[in-house]
């Protein structure tokens, strides 16, 4: 019995032990299963989140940007300095051009004298043979140049094209070398009479204060014209004998399209030399800038130039006495159109056709960590990646200067209308200047413009004839809009920035500015492609050479700060001497077959 009880107790104990073990296992399972399930849920959510991020919110694009390398400097090589033998033999000549006070004063006197000769021109001037009295001021300027640079006039062949266009030719000894060419223009924009009281110094006094030469044309671009002639004068004095011929051309109506001056000079030279006959052409343009983002000096010759489209809008409307006016006069309606145009700017965009993309790529690969890494990576993908392109475009639009280079701009420059305070205006004229993006066809701009005119015309039931077509028929009694193209110039072909000509341009820039101007730099001066917002005489010479560069090689070169076309226009005289020094070395550097492509 006692044995049975003991066995029963043992069995009972074993049963309780088994039950306790099972209970523990059950409890353990009930705790662990939810944790394992939770892990799978979290993992699933994470995968879903990443999928949505990559597919739905451009996350894949940002991932590609993050993986982009920034180490490929072949995207924008920095070329070695190119130094002429004359500099190695005697460095003092170049140093004196930039730093000698006596030379500085002599040079300032020459530029000041050029500014003092008034060569203003307006729009729509008739050709020289048709109205010679409107151009006689240029004879006084020619007389000044011949008096100031007698050795140039004695040594070089000087031709006059259409009376006031100037062409200087210094014949080289090697006819197998294409001539180099340098151009500028003699004319200046008018000074608005209402602004005369606002000038610190009279606009045609040519005042020099030791730092600047002030006056109309000091910066645009008699500085360049005088620098070129000073260079020739110095080289003649050095007994320089060029192998490569040198051609210098000065138009006289660049500020009014250039059809009287540069256009005729170009035809003359094409007839004389033929197509693709010029080594390179350097015109007015950009120079060296101190880049705000990187703190580095960068040379930016413009190898591209935006198109130019001038549109005139005429509105005719019934006249009458001002004592019983309509709700909206012709001036009021034109004002509404003006407001609508300015409130509907052209969309920005950036493509690989625009030299600005190459400019940015040069910054991305050559300035180290001066730019944020993600920005550099995005720049290098912006030519083919929509996400990267959008990111860079947004950055450019925040830059007060670069944003003009990634879109077509419009500027409402002239409005005319009305004759008397008590008479309703019967005719109103509006002039709009467009600087057309390199990639944009004129037809697109004209359509955009026409749509805005029709929008206003429909509101007032006014007929519209735009660009030779009747595009809206309103009530003839209400008036008529007429839209015409006054002038248009296509965007210039983009010049090469990867050939030997570019290499010599960049190498000479490095030599002059690193060896003589900024002698303590810790980095090489980089030359990058760029685009010019203005239109220059260079457009007429496209048949003569592909290598056209709009480059005024000096620092500082801030057109806005130096008041180009405005009150107190001035040129920093250091920049003038830099340009002179560059031309002096460049002409000698390229005087060899080695400089050819």
Look at residues 594, 432, 587, 596 and name the one whose alpha carbon lies nearest to residue 87.
587
- Respond yes or no: is residue 254 known to be catalytic: yes
Binding annotation:
185, 220, 255, 283, 565
| Residue 125 and residue 260 in contact, taking contact as beta carbons nearer than 8 Å | yes
- Respond yes or no: is residue 118 known to be catalytic: no
Q: What is the Cα–Cα distance from 325 to 560, expressed in whole angstroms?
A: 43
How many helices, marked H, and strands, marked E, lie in the chain? 16, 19
Name the E strands within 437-529: 463-466, 469-472, 480-489, 526-527
Distances from the Cα of 318 to the Cαs of 293, 447, 572, in angstroms? Answer: 56, 28, 52
| Residue 563 and residue 337 in contact, taking contact as beta carbons nearer than 8 Å | no
H or E element at residue 368: none
As a whole number of Å, the CA-based R_g of the chain is 34
Q: What is the Cα–Cα distance from 416 to 517, expressed in whole angstroms?
A: 49
Which of 230, 254, 446, 585 is catalytic? The answer is 254
Which of 8, 12, 133, 187 is catalytic? The answer is 187
Q: What is the Cα–Cα distance from 178 to 349, expressed in whole angstroms?
A: 38
Q: What is the Cα–Cα distance from 15 to 517, expressed in whole angstroms?
A: 101
State residue 468 phi and psi, 5-degree precision.
Answer: 90, 0
List of residues 6+ apart from 292 with CB closer than 8 A: none
Instruction: Say how many Å lie between the first and final Cα of the chain, rounded.
Output: 120
Binding annotation for Zn(2+):
185, 220, 255, 283, 565
List active site positions: 187, 254
């Amino acid at each position: 019995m006692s044995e049975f009880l003991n066995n029963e107790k043992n069995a009972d104990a074993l049963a309780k032990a088994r039950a306790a073990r099972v209970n523990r296992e059950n409890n353990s399972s009930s705790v662990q299963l939810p944790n394992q399930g939770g892990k799978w849920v979290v993992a699933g959510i994470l995968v879903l989140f990443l999928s949505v991020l990559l597919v739905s919110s451009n996350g894949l694009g940002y991932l590609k940007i993050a993986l982009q390398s920034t180490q490929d400097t072949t995207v924008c090589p920095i070329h070695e300095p190119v130094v002429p033998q004359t500099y190695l033999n005697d460095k003092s000549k170049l140093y004196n051009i930039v730093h000698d006070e006596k030379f500085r004063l002599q040079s300032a006197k020459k530029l000041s004298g050029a500014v003092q000769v008034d060569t203003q021109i307006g729009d729509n001037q008739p050709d020289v043979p048709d109205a010679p009295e409107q151009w006689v001021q240029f004879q006084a300027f020619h007389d000044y140049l011949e008096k100031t640079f007698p050795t140039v006039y004695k040594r070089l062949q000087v031709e006059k094209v259409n009376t006031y266009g100037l062409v200087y030719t210094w014949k080289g000894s090697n006819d197998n070398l294409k001539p180099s060419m340098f151009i500028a223009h003699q004319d200046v924009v008018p000074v608005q009479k209402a602004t005369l009281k606002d000038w610190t110094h009279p606009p045609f006094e040519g005042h020099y204060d030791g730092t600047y030469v002030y006056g109309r044309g000091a910066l645009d671009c008699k500085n360049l014209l005088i620098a070129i002639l000073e260079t020739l004068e110095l080289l003649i004095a050095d007994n320089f004998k060029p192998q490569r011929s040198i051609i210098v051309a000065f138009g006289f109506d660049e500020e009014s399209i250039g059809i009287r001056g540069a256009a005729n000079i170009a035809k003359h030279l094409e007839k004389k030399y033929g197509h693709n006959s010029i080594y390179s052409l350097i015109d007015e343009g950009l120079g060296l800038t101190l880049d705000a983002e990187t703190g580095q000096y960068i040379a930016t010759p413009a190898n591209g130039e935006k198109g130019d489209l001038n549109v005139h809008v005429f509105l005719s409307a019934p006249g009458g006495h001002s004592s019983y006016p309509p709700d909206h006069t012709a001036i009021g309606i034109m004002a509404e159109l003006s407001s609508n145009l300015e409130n509907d700017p052209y969309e920005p965009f950036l493509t690989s056709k625009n030299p600005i993309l190459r400019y940015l790529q040069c910054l991305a690969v050559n300035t180290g960590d001066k730019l944020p890494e993600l920005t550099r990576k995005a720049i290098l993908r912006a030519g083919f990646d929509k996400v990267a392109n959008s990111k860079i475009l947004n950055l450019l639009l925040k830059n007060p200067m670069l944003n003009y280079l990634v879109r077509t701009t419009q500027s409402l420059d002239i409005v005319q209308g009305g004759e008397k305070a008590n008479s309703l205006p019967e005719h109103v004229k509006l002039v709009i200047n467009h600087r057309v993006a390199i990639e944009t066809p004129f037809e697109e701009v004209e359509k955009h413009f026409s749509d805005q005119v029709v929008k206003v015309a429909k509101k007032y039931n006014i007929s519209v004839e735009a660009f030779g077509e009747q595009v809206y028929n309103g009530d003839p009694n209400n008036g008529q809009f007429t839209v015409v193209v006054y002038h248009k110039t296509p965007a210039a072909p983009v010049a090469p920035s990867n050939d030997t000509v570019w290499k010599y341009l960049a190498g000479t820039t490095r030599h002059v500015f690193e060896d003589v101007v900024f002698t303590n730099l810790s980095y090489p001066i980089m030359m990058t492609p760029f685009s010019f917002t203005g239109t220059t005489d260079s457009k007429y010479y496209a048949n003569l050479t592909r290598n056209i560069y709009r480059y005024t090689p000096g620092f500082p070169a801030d057109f806005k700060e130096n008041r180009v076309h405005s009150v107190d226009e001035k040129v920093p005289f250091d920049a003038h001497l830099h340009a002179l020094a560059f031309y002096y070395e460049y002409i000698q550097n390229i005087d060899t077959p080695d400089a050819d492509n």
